[in-house]
Amino acid sequence: MKVQLDLAGELEGALDEALEAAYPLETGATLEDLVASLPFASRVALTSVNGELVPPAERAGRTLSDGDEVMLLPPVKGG
Amino acid sequence: MGWQRKVLRVDLTAGTCESEPLNMQWAAQYVGGRGLATRYLVDNVDPAVDPLSPDNALVFATGPLSGTLVSTSGRYCVVTKGPLTGAIACSNSGGKFGAELKYCGYDLLIIQGRSEKPVYLLIEDDEVSLEDASDLWGETVWKTEETIKARHRSEDMKVASIGVAGERGVYYACIVNDLHRAAGRSGVGAVMGSKNLKAVAARGTRGVKVKEPTRFMQVVDEKNRKLFEHGSRRALMRYGTLSMIDVMQKFGGLPTNNFQKVQFEGVDRINPKAVVETNRNGHKNLLTNKACFGCTIACGRIAHIDPNHFSVVNRQEYWHASGGLEYETAFAFGPAVGVDDLDALTFAGYMMNEHGMDPISFGVTLAAAMELYELGLITREQTDGIDLRFGNAEALTVMAEKTGKYEGFGRELALGSKRLCEKYGRPDLAMVVKGQEFAGYDSRALQGMGLGYATGNRGACHLKHDTFDVDMEDVSGKGKAKPCKHSQDDIAAIDSAGICLFTASAWDLDDIAAQVDAACEGSWTAERLHDAGERIWNLERLFNLRAGLTAADDTLPPRLLKEPAPSGTAKGKVCELDVMLPEYYAERGWTANGVPTPDLLRRLKLEDFIIESPA
């Protein structure tokens, strides 16, 4: 299956555009599997699936489906 | 050790400058910087004082780590009673001025009274004098710094000064040092102007001694490595704080059109990608990044404006490189007012630095004026013929300059959002807490941020607490009180040590305590720093209560409490302050009316400030 990634901030451009638009995963993969597979996993702070926030503790229990839109954002501090 | 053990007290009314020993008992309890300055302010100023009267004091303070080898040690802060809020003001700045003040041999500079004529304070180690500034009155920050350096033939001299905005009492005037770093918030520049003090110029040749030099070097090296290797440091260096604009846009927490919306359609034209793109004239906005004194992060941005841009055509004096967009300036001149013209935003930033104004307060005040204009409550005749609609880049650039020069409709914008909206009959449109404007985070999407805004001792502020992590995990008020309180105390300690808050992306309080411990007398642990932070937070609160503020001031505008977020992750949600605030008061050990209890104050060694029979 493939999911669509949405990266922002320092994570933008970290993946090839085509890969970001259709990121391949094994059927039944969880959000935690997805994050762990990324070369910038340690910089992922926020995750949401189809617009719904998924806290880190719940990523392992969130199974992804083909076509899901997954937003990944880096940590935010100050400004 | 760490501290210079000396305070410079300047009485502008009497024209005297005298040094006195630093109260080391207070240093042990309040660390330095923000904390120590607050303790001295409380000792020298009646909280009920008119902020712009001679009876207010202006305290410049360095921390025990200021001027040392610790990363980001160029910080200083300015503490006073703020005219924008009527509450305690604590504005923190980078650049090089803080370290230079420390090298003059002083931890604190206390300025009292009012000079009969304009003066600037000249500090060259022990040589301290008040110099005539009549010829500088009415000049910009940039001209003032250049003139003072030339007059004393010292390029190494560091200058902190005000522009016309500070002289004329713009409620959010700031103090600018090193041309484009500023003690920015709450109107500390207006207090300086009310004292007829144009500038403080420092040139110091003394070092800073530390308790255990060898261990200090080892600890600093270890912590610098930790900071250097941290991903957040790399991101700040590469993108600056501006990268957060895309994050907030995606999240739906980017306040737009005076907080009527939480996402901005024009974000792609002002984001980190846009500032490095070459435009049709072959011009690229961003030139490089820049570090403050001793900083190994280097988040600062240096930019220049396209000479063909309408704001600077035939105005060669603005074609040079200067401070570029950071997240808060981009928010305040961009989404807040609906403008997506990159060079217009950059020009507005130049105006803030040149004339000495807080960009957040200016931008959010302009946003309120634009909403009043679109509602027909302010007319085009009043705005000097400028169409003050959201999205008009000319309105942004013209009004930034007019306000800085205190001209035309700029005099209305000089009031700040609260006073402006009250004057035009719509106080609900002022996006403020305690009179101070919000930063670029919408508290319907970032709920803990809303709690931090509401309880901020200097009014709405994004830099005195840190709930970003929990806010971006859950868009509700649940579980936000504890991290808000805890981070407020930690940050009060960091602000007092004399280093930049951005180190906290990599360092925890243990890392900072280790460096303080190697530099300063006594034994310093994270727990001791945290306790000092809690003491500082409560002392600030007590100052405000004595100034007449109450729990009723710990609130947010109705827009954030009643109008649901129209889009984004928090679509349909309002800020749940009613849930968070009672939990926060309980977490703090305050009464239901937000008053620190006698037991708490005794634990914090603040028994002298107990408010009897707190309701």
- End-to-end CA gap in chain B: 43
pLDDT for A77: 74
- Centroid of chain to Cα B2: 24
Helix-, strand-, coil-residue percentages of chain B, each rounded to 5: 40, 15, 45
Residues of B in contact with A75 (CB under 8 A): 232, 468-469, 505
Please list the alpha-helical segments (H only) found in B320-446. Answer: 327-333, 342-355, 359-374, 393-405, 410-413, 416-423
| Residue count (chain B) | 615
Query: Count H helices, E strands: chain A?
Result: 2, 5
| CB-closest option in B247, B249, B501 to A76 | B247
Contact B250 A8 (CB under 8 A): yes
DSSP single-letter state for residue B463 = S
* Percentage of residues in chain B having pLDDT higher than 70: 100
Contact B462 A78 (CB under 8 A): yes
Under the banding of pLDDT at 50, 70 and 90, the label for residue B611 is confident
> B474 at the A interface (CB within 8 A)?
yes
> A53 at the B interface (CB within 8 A)?
yes
Q: 3-class SS at B596? A: strand
pLDDT tens-digit map of B304-330: 999 999 999 999 999 999 999 999 999
Mean predicted confidence (pLDDT) in B463-468: 95
pLDDT for B613: 61
pLDDT tens-digit map of A14-58: 899 999 999 999 999 999 999 999 999 988 989 999 988 898 889
pLDDT tens-digit map of B66-101: 999 999 999 999 999 999 999 999 999 999 999 999
Class of domain A2-73: alpha beta
Please list the alpha-helical segments (H only) found in B152-284. Answer: 164-167, 188-194, 213-229, 231-239, 244-251, 272-275
Kindly give, in sequence order, each residue whose CB lies less than 8 Å from that of residue B375, ignoring residues fewer than 6 positions away: B426
Kindly give, in sequence order, each residue whose CB lies less than 8 Å from that of residue B256, ignoring residues fewer than 6 positions away: B262, B263, B264, B335, B336, B338
> Residue B107 pLDDT > 90, yes or no?
yes
Cα separation of B97 and A75, whole Å?
30
pLDDT tens-digit map of B207-236: 999 999 999 999 999 999 999 998 888 888
Under the banding of pLDDT at 50, 70 and 90, the label for residue B612 is confident
pLDDT for B83: 98
> Residue B369 pLDDT > 70, yes or no?
yes
pLDDT tens-digit map of B16-66: 999 999 999 999 999 999 999 999 999 999 999 999 999 999 999 999 999
pLDDT tens-digit map of B574-600: 999 999 999 999 999 999 999 999 999
Residues of A in contact with B468 (CB under 8 A): 75-77
> Residue B124 pLDDT > 70, yes or no?
yes
Amino acid identity at A28 = G
pLDDT for B453: 98
Mean predicted confidence (pLDDT) in B247-273: 96
Cα separation of B519 and B497, whole Å?
11
Residue of A nearest to B476 (CA): A53
Residue of A nearest to B241 (CA): A79
Tokens 């793109």 correspond to B277
What are the structural domain ranges in chain A? 2-73
Contact A12 B504 (CB under 8 A): no
Cα separation of B458 and B90, whole Å?
7
**Chain A nearest CA to B234, separation (Å):** 9
pLDDT tens-digit map of B550-569: 999 999 999 999 999 999 99
pLDDT for A69: 95
> A42 at the B interface (CB within 8 A)?
yes
> Residue A10 pLDDT > 90, yes or no?
no
pLDDT tens-digit map of B289-305: 999 999 999 999 999 99
| CB-closest option in B244, B440, B504 to A9 | B244
| Residue count (chain A) | 79
pLDDT for B402: 98
- Mean pLDDT value across chain B: 97
- Give the range among B243-252, B431-440, B536-545 with minimum mean pLDDT: B243-252
pLDDT for A78: 66
Contact B327 A79 (CB under 8 A): yes
**Chain A nearest CA to B343, separation (Å):** 20
> A39 at the B interface (CB within 8 A)?
no
Mean predicted confidence (pLDDT) in B431-459: 98
DSSP single-letter state for residue B435 = T
Contact A79 B466 (CB under 8 A): no
**Chain B nearest CA to A22, separation (Å):** 19
Mean predicted confidence (pLDDT) in B447-475: 95
> Residue B422 pLDDT > 80, yes or no?
yes
* Residues B96 and B90 sit within 8 Å (Cβ to Cβ): no
Contact A8 B249 (CB under 8 A): yes
ipTM comes to 0.84
Cα separation of B200 and B18, whole Å?
15
Contact A48 B569 (CB under 8 A): yes
Residue of A nearest to B504 (CA): A77
Under the banding of pLDDT at 50, 70 and 90, the label for residue B186 is very high
Dihedral angle at the C-alpha atoms of A37, A41, A46, A47, nearest 10 degrees?
0
**Chain A nearest CA to B243, separation (Å):** 5
Nearest Cα residue to B272 out of B326, B191, B208, B331: B326
Domains, chain B: 6-203 (3.60.9.10), 242-436 (1.10.569.10), 447-609 (1.10.599.10)
* Residues B162 and B199 sit within 8 Å (Cβ to Cβ): yes
